[in-house]
Structure 1
Amino acid sequence: MRLTIASLLLSLTLLGACSQTPRPADTDATAPVTVSTQQGTVTVQPTVVGYQIDEADDPLESINRPIFAFNHVLYRYLLNPIGRGYQAIMPDPAKQGVSNFFANLREPLNLVNNFAQGDGSGGFTNLGRFLINTTIGLAGLFDPATAWFDLPADKASLNETLRHYDVGRGAFVVIPILGQSDLRNGASSFTESMFHPVHYTFEDPTDDQLLGFKALHDFSPRVKTYDELYDQAEDPYVFFRNLYLQGQMRDDAAQQPAEDEVNKDATDGGQ
């Protein structure tokens, strides 16, 4: 597996813009920020409450801030205009087909991570979805696994697997080009990119070009949201940092009760 420097840089650059844009907030009373990743107007309130963040969560702030400022210039004047152009020229049905294609191509990674977390049901769901959508769904362009066979997507990442085994997030970091992350999530994203099934499906450099296109496809709907959040925030660095960390904290809190319930069921079943 070879990665050319130019294609890798393109992929990482576009992925960075995607990671810099926050995910939709959970539907929870403690999450006051509602963020849409679809086209259209969004209303945001740049106030982060709920999960409290203190200085101990950001020991590298003096290094992170200048990197954040550099990334913002890159996004605002280069990547965001590209993303807006992509959104303008790409028809909605084509966007859905592209999303389906890359989601199907990722299913082997989902399968491995679900099994690694002890979720056999999720792993077999991934296997069924991959077989159905690759064949009946015309190489994944369509999703008959969900529409016809009631097999909804069950995405699982290496970051979630490490969280499952109580691996901590580590320090919050802002990576040049890549954006906000933490040591666990950054290492997980890099590892998954190196072992993404696209490398075993397509020859070099087509595989790298496809990953670059995927990154463009994924971050382009978030461009408008990023601009609005940045412009409305009193301190954009603090806002994006807190929103990212709160998202990780919500994920940690959401996973623990689910694991406790699984462990309880296993214990009850053994009695």
Structure 2
Amino acid sequence: MARLILVLSALLLGYSQTQAAALFGRPSKIIDSNDSNSSSAGSSYYTPYTSGSSSYSATGGGCGSVPSHVKTAFSEAKRFTQTCSYAQLAPGKMIAVNDYSGDGRPTMYIFDQDGNCVKGFPISWGVGSDRSGRLEACSTENSRKTPPGFHLTATHNGARYNSSNSLGMAGLSGQDSLGQRGVIIHGTSPAGTSNTWGCTGVNYEDLSTVMKTLGVGSLVYNYFGGARASNCSDNSGMERPAQCQPEAAAVAAARSNGVSSSKYSGKSKYSTSSGGSKATNSTKRKGAK
């Protein structure tokens, strides 16, 4: 407790969180000011990343040995690009598997379209998971849990997060992740803990590389291994086979890359009869602004 008080005092005096931690030691709870609606405390069921705790370091780098379940998830994602017109990828776009399965540390594996893993990064998840830090998926608004399933990276222009410091995650299977919840990829510290309101967090030093590698129009698969949250009212994104029901932001991202000329079906439960999203105003977004 005394150490926590000293760290908080240092922060009030103008020290950065990193400087305060160096002076007095890192507090037992994560003080997260990265997400406009984030919790003041994060948790991790997993051993924190250290220089020797993974096949790559605490920051992003090579993929190391890709787990078999991640390879299976990539194959699922590849099939989805062939069955959903809005998930078709333009040349040079990537497929990212966010491994939230609980089988190993949460990691973003970025593959090219031929299945070669090119980069790996530790990632964070939503604080709505249970207090032990175990990961739970949910697409319900205000759940503060990370939405499962397939997403397309899209432009995000909020008050705090925009195209310079984030990538939107637009749902492709009935999740209105971006339009309704403001779910994005953004920087955080440290990655590897539950310290967002459903967004995927990467270390600040990795964010630029992640954004440049993915760009707008890459596929991101939030993979939870099929486990459903017991108290979730909206499990969109968990269905197998995955449904092709894009939200409006995903349609826009796909069309900006010229990979889909199909008329928007409007099947998403969040869409209006004209094919737009019910919640496009940034003031309605709960995850990031």
Asked if TM exceeds 0.5, the reply is no
**Structure with greater strand percent:** 2
- Larger relative contact order (Cα-Cα within 8 Å, sequence gap ≥ 6): 1
**Structure with greater helix percent:** 1
